[in-house]
Every structure is written in structure tokens, then in C-alpha cells.
Amino acid sequence: MRVIFLGPPGSGKGTQAKRLQSALNIPQLSTGDLLREAVRKGSELGKQAAEFMSAGKLVPDQLVIALILTRMEQDDCSGGFILDGFPRTLAQAQALEDALAAVSKPVQRVIEIRIEQDKLVERLVGRRICPNGHGEWHIRFNPPKQEGRCDTCGEALEHRDDDHEEKIITRFEAYRKDTEPLVQFYTDRGNLAVIDGDRDIEDVTREIATAVGA
Ligand code: AMP
């Protein structure tokens, strides 16, 4: 099963993609997580991506496309994958489609999580993430068991540098301008499912599971 998650920052893509990963037993691939890891390690890619990310801007297509296509070649992706945060531009969507067509493994489902922008700022400024990739929490809506600590590994949760209001606005603009056209791109291909993201996490998870036949 090959699934894409689309949705603005804070729509719950990461949370829902991680949940679906457990249900389908295929990896969730987040370009945001892969890029943050590259920045943390100080790799060449990390150095190139860092300034775009901290400004809330998109990292150039060729860097992100190479990153994700390389990741998709790993063995754990042989049974499929869930893409979270990729593609984010038409050029990325086209590159992905071409790469998957070459191996006759097209994307079967695109989940768009739809939610109004004014609901998202509060979600994002209160979001805290585990640096070891165990997920994310919210200081009010979904607090961890122990304040400021990951429920899984106990590590101190981080407030992402781009989860501050002025960067959030830039990220919304990038979404509207560069990523929203993908809704039409995948509608034309007939595999888009629109999910209302302004509901309880469990309800959203159930609807997504139905949409992908999990
Ligand atoms: P995310 O964790 O998905 O919110 O991504 C965090 C940041 O990483 C974004 O604001 C971009 O700077 C960068 N990024 C992640 N995925 C992509 C992508 N597909 N294309 C370009 N930049 C990306």
C-alpha cells in the first residue's frame, strides 16, 4: 500500500500517518523528520536545508526529491509506505509519479486532511515533539503523562523552532501557494480522499482507516 498525506501544517498529518503506520505495518516517511535529522547531524544536506527550514520556507525540490527517493529504496519500503509531508510541490508530485511509474508501483490513496487555518495556529504553538521520533504532544489538547517528557522514551520534548507564530504564517503561505495545487493534481488521478481534520483524533483515525481499507 502506498499512501500520501496532504494537509497544512498542524492538520495532524504526522500523528495520523504514525497511527496508520501501526495499522498497515508499513513505514511512515516524513521529509520533515528526515530533514531535521540531517540538520541535527550536520550533514551536507542538513547544512543546505537548515536556513530554509528555520525560515518556514520549502527546501528546494531537487534536495527533497533525492532524499525521499533514496529513502524509498530501503528494504522496509518493499511492502509500501506512507508519505507525510511529501510531495509539497507539483514538481515533487511529478517526480514521485515518474519514479513510481518506472517500477509499476503507483500511489493508491491520497488523504487530504482539511481544516481551517485559524484553528491551526494554536495547535502549532502548543505542539511539542520527541527528538527521538516517538511522536508529538500538545501542551493543552494532548499533554504527555509527565510534563515536557516523551511518553515512550522520557526524553525532553522540543518546541520546534518553526512552530512560532511568524514562521507559521510563512509555512501557511507556502502551503497555499505550492502545496494546495496538489489537491487538483490528485483529484484528477481519482485517488483523493478528503477528511475533516477538525474532530477528535480517534474519529479522524477511523475515517482514514476506512478510506485506505485498513
Ligand atoms: P514538516 O515537519 O513536514 O512540517 O516540515 C518542516 C519543514 O521541512 C518545512 O517547513 C520545510 O522547510 C521542510 N520540508 C519538509 N518536507 C518538505 C518538502 N516535501 N519540500 C520542501 N520542504 C520540505
Torsion angle (degrees, nearest 10) of CA 108, 119, 50, 29:
-20
Quick check: is 177 catalytic?
no
User: CA 22, 25, 29, 30: dihedral to nearest 10 degrees?
Assistant: -10
Identify the active-site residue in 2, 71, 127, 128.
Answer: 127
How high is the pLDDT of residue 19?
Answer: 92
CB of residue 162 inside a 6 A radius of ligand 1: yes
pLDDT averaged over every residue in the chain: 95
- For the chain, the maximum distance between any two Cα atoms, rounded to a whole number of angstroms, is 48
Closest CA to ligand 1's atom 12: 53
Find out whether the peptide bond into 87 is cis, omega within 30 degrees of 0: yes
Q: Is the pLDDT of residue 167 over 80?
A: yes
Tell which wins on pLDDT, 133 or 167: 167
pLDDT cut 90: percent of the chain above it = 90
Distance between alpha carbon 131 and the CA centroid of its chain, in Å? 16
Confidence grade of residue 110 (pLDDT, cut at 50, 70, 90): very high
For residue 118, give the C-alpha cell: 485559524
pTM of the model: 0.93
Look at residue 109 in the predicted model and tell me its pLDDT.
96
Q: Which ligand 1 atom lies nearest to the CA of residue 56?
A: 10
Which atom from ligand 1 is nearest to the alpha carbon of 87? 19
**Known catalytic residue at 171:** yes
pLDDT at 161 over 80: yes
| Three-state DSSP class for residue 144 | coil
User: Which of 112, 115, 158 shows the shortest CA–CA distance to 137?
Assistant: 158
Question: Ligand 1 centre from 113 Cα, in Å?
Answer: 17
Whether 128 is catalytic is: no
- Is pLDDT above 90 for 133? no
% pLDDT > 70, the chain = 100
Q: What is the mean pLDDT of residues 72-86?
A: 96
- Residue 118 pLDDT: 86
Q: Candidates 11, 30, 35: which one to mutate for ligand 1, based on the most atoms within 8 Å of Cβ?
A: 35
Q: According to the model, what pLDDT value does residue 86 have?
A: 98
Work out the average pLDDT over 25-46.
Answer: 95
* Nearest Cα to Cα of residue 44 among 56, 53, 35: 35
Ligand 1 atom index nearest CA of 174 = 10
Cα 32 to ligand 1 centroid, rounded to whole Å = 5
Name the nearest CA neighbour of 33 among 78, 80, 82: 82
- The Cα-based distances of 54 to 113, 120, 164, 166 in angstroms read 24, 19, 10, 11
Q: What is the pLDDT of residue 13?
A: 92
pLDDT for the residue 134:
87
Least trusted range by pLDDT, from 21-25, 26-30, 174-178: 21-25
Mean pLDDT of 135-160: 95
- To the query of whether residue 206 is one of the catalytic residues in this protein, the response is no
